[in-house]
Structure formats: structure tokens, C-alpha cells
Copies of this chain bind each other. A is one copy, B any other.
Amino acid sequence: MLLPVIMAGGTGSRLWPMSRELYPKQFLRLHSENSMLQETVLRLESLEVREPVVICNEEHRFLVAEQLRQIKKLSNNIILEPIGRNTAPAIALAALNAIKDGDDPVMLVLAADHVIHDVEIFHAAVEKAIPFANANSLVTFGIVPTGPETGYGYIQRGDSIGNLDEGYKVKCFVEKPNLPTAESYIASGEYYWNSGMFMFRAKKYLEELEKFRPDIYEACKKSLCELPDGMDFITVDKESFALCPDESVDYAVMEKTTNAMVVPLDAGWSDVGSWSALWEVNEKDTNNNALTGDVFLHNTEGCYINTDEKMVAAVGVKNLVIVNTKDALLVIDKSQVQDVKKVVEYLKINQRSEYKHHRDIYRPWGKSDLVVAENRFNVNRVTVNPGGKLSTQMHHHRAEHWIILAGTAQVTIGEKTFLLTENQSTFIPIGSIHTLENPGKIPLEILEVRSGSYLGNDDVIRIKDHYGRN
């Protein structure tokens, strides 16, 4: 049985303001009801696979756990990277974890943030690759190009192996080409886009990694902690992993090994690497507009418009991307979407929150949305999932007032524990130890009013935390 390894470590900013450092692309619902991570997991259904391993940034662990819970694919195999070190180390961690009980599974390595339209063709390509991987090849899936893209690396195929078009030796990997070169690649029919999806045996990958990059291999071996913590996350030692070189699997292994193979994939793939790419893969109206949310159009063509709550009216405009979130709005020409990085740079330099997180902040127990922010008081709308528990905590600088809007809360303040339901409220003085949980079956909605001289989220002394955040 295949072991799916899903790489969910990206912190891409190319889809800002929808993607944020704390809520990147793979967690967004960009193309369906499900997030891209969820789609990636669900796309494996009907293949014979083990429970997937997800590798993500430590900061995203509760998001990953919650998104897997939502699609009823709870996983004990979430590997937490304390820092990003690119794909070669990430896959090494997954491989080392996979072989620790003497096993040697075939790993299907997937990115958590790609769109694949035709799942059956994808499955067929995966099935084709299995015998090659079993025979110790390192398989990369080569996307059959639909045009002379200059934004991707290419793979040139060599001799055919097996039946017609089942797979090829890799002749070489090439960097992102210029347009004439890309055109010659397409004309030759010998080139594929480098998708970043792979299949190989865990031990074979580690063997090749040890051969070509023993530094990465050793650093990963040292970093993988022996025991998963209480939350069933697989943790990685930060100090050791920080010493691991930052390298892609292509550079570290695939371009060097003599066992590289390519299996063609022609399944409507996109890495959705920009707003214009998202426009391309989405459904459009008769004027070529791709729309999400409450939108009114007049005399408008070729636009991508996404609004999360308020109404957007677009009149007399062409080829614009308009993305409206609770705290930031982007209006950008579709031909210049790569310049969204200028905005993110500006936000980082000015230490603004809009590059890091949304107005909604996701927590292991649910989320919190800052609806009113003033100097001396602010108001959060807090949603606690069924079974969710806030940490037992205390604040030095703020008092809190909670009103229950929906559901039932079990509140503890000092020594007292009591239930509150819709329309009831309580007050937590500065310095009181308190906690709250949702003992019910429906989400608990509360309104939290903070008041005091300092209202930052970092004024919290955690006495006990159900999620290991002490």
C-alpha cells in the first residue's frame, strides 16, 4: 500500500490577501468547498493507500488537524517542521519516520496546494508509477505541457521504459526557460513541466539522499524526535533542524540520481501560483469573469473577483483581479499579478499584521475575529468548536466580559465552575484565573469584550493548556 506524503509547508504570499503567513494557500477554499489540502487528501480516495502523512509548519498544526477532522480523515501522522527547510529535508523526515519500525513503503509525495481536474487520469498515472517505484526508480510526475510556460522548470525525457508512454528515463532537468526555449521544448514533444510530485521507496530515497547530500540526511536523522507528543503530532527538534541545509528534492536528489524516471500526467493540473492562474482554472461567466461572493457587474470582462463578505460592484473594467478580505483589499491588473509581492514586502517592512494573519485568527479550539478595535477596548467574536477548551489563563492588563450568543459554555473563574447559555454573560476581572470550554454539540459563539490599558494577545499567562501550548 502506498504511503501518501503531503507537503503542506508553504507560506506563499502570491495569493495575498487571501493567503497569509499564518493561513497560506493550501488551507484556502480556492477552487471548491474544500481547502486545497482537503482536496489533496480526498483525491486519494479509491486508491489503495495508507493513512496520509502531512508535513507542515509547526505554526499550522491546529489548522491541519482541524481541516483533516472536517473531512473525517483524522491523522496521527502530522510532522511538524519548526522551520522551513524546503522539500529535500521534508521528504527525508517523512521517509525516516516511515521506516522507523523496519518498514519500507512506497511513498507518493504530493504538494498540498495543487489543483488536478481529472482525478481518474491522476489515479491512472499513480498506478503506472507503482511498479517503477517498487523496482527502485525515483519517479517524478511530468505534467504534459499545455503551452510554452516560462514559470516552470522542465524535465526532458529519455528512453521509454515499459509500455508505450508509461514512463521514461529522465534525460535531464532544466531550469525555467525563456520563451523561445520553452517554445522549442513544446515543439520537440520531449519535455514535461516539473510538478513537484514524486513516487519512490522510503529507503531508496534516503539511500540516494545519503549518497548525494549526507549533510541533509544526517541533520534530518538527528532532528526527528523519538516520541510523538501528547497531541499525536510528530515533532522535530528545532536546534538540530535549523542546522539542516535548505534544499529542494530536485537539486538534492532527482538531478543527481541515475534512477530518475518520469511518468507523464495530463490531468488538468495547476499549481495555482498566482491570481491569474486561479482565474484560469476557475469557472467563468460569459464575459470571462470568475466570481466568488456577492458581486454585481456591468460592462466588465476577464476579471477575477473574490469577496468574503461585503458586496463588490465592478463597472467598466477589464482584466482586473479584485480580492476583498475583512482587513485588506487588492486591486491588481491580471497581467501584473506577480507584483503582489511588492505589497507583501511593504507590509513586512512596516510590520503590519495584514501579511501575517487574517482578521480571523485560528486557534486549536476554534477562531477569534476582532470586530471592534479601539485604544481602551476591543471586541472579539469567538467561536469554540464542540469539545474545544481555551487554556486556563490569566491577564495582567485586561478585564474581559463574555456574552453567550449561541450554544452553551462551561466557564471557570477562580474556584467556581458554571454553565452559561444564550444571552447570559459573565465578567472576568484583571488577574482572575479563568477558562472556558464548549461541552455541547454545536459551536459555541461568544462575544468577548476586552478592556484595559493593554489589549494584545500576548498578555496571557497560560496555567494549563489542553493543546500543549504552555
Docked CA distance A205–B333 (Å): 55
> Which segment, of A34-42, A156-164, A217-225, A304-312, faces chain B?
A304-312
Identity of the chain B residue whose Cβ is nearest the Cβ of A295 in the assembled complex: B329
A310 contact from B311, B328, B347, Cβ within 8 A:
B328
Chain B residues whose C-beta falls within 8 Å of the C-beta of A347 in the assembled complex:
296
Chain B residues whose C-beta falls within 8 Å of the C-beta of A324 in the assembled complex:
329
Are the CB atoms of A339 and B298 closer together than 8 Å?
yes
Chain B residues whose C-beta falls within 8 Å of the C-beta of A332 in the assembled complex:
313-317
Are the CB atoms of B299 and A313 closer together than 8 Å?
no
A377 within 8 A of partner (CB): yes
CB distance from A400 to the nearest CB of B (A): 9
Chain B residues whose C-beta falls within 8 Å of the C-beta of A445 in the assembled complex:
374, 377
Identity of the chain B residue whose Cβ is nearest the Cβ of A339 in the assembled complex: B315
Chain B residues whose C-beta falls within 8 Å of the C-beta of A187 in the assembled complex:
none
Chain B residues whose C-beta falls within 8 Å of the C-beta of A281 in the assembled complex:
none
A292 within 8 A of partner (CB): no
What is the size, in residues, of chain A's interface with B at 8 Å between Cβ atoms?
A: 54
Identity of the chain B residue whose Cβ is nearest the Cβ of A424 in the assembled complex: B427
Are the CB atoms of A340 and B317 closer together than 8 Å?
no
Apart from A312-B330, A315-B331, A316-B333, list 12 A-B contacts with CB within 8 A: A296-B347, A310-B329, A311-B327, A311-B352, A311-B354, A314-B332, A315-B333, A315-B339, A316-B335, A371-B371, A372-B447, A379-B447
What are some 27 contacts across the A-B interface (CB < 8 A)? A296-B346, A298-B339, A312-B329, A313-B331, A315-B332, A315-B333, A315-B339, A315-B343, A316-B333, A316-B335, A317-B332, A322-B329, A324-B329, A371-B372, A372-B447, A374-B445, A376-B406, A377-B422, A377-B445, A401-B403, A401-B423, A405-B449, A405-B451, A423-B451, A425-B427, A447-B447, A447-B449
Q: Which residues of A contact B (CB under 8 A)?
A: 17, 296, 298-299, 307, 310-317, 320, 322, 324, 326-333, 335-336, 339-340, 342-343, 346-347, 352, 354, 371-372, 374, 376-377, 379, 381, 399, 401, 403, 405-406, 422-423, 425, 427, 445, 447, 449, 451
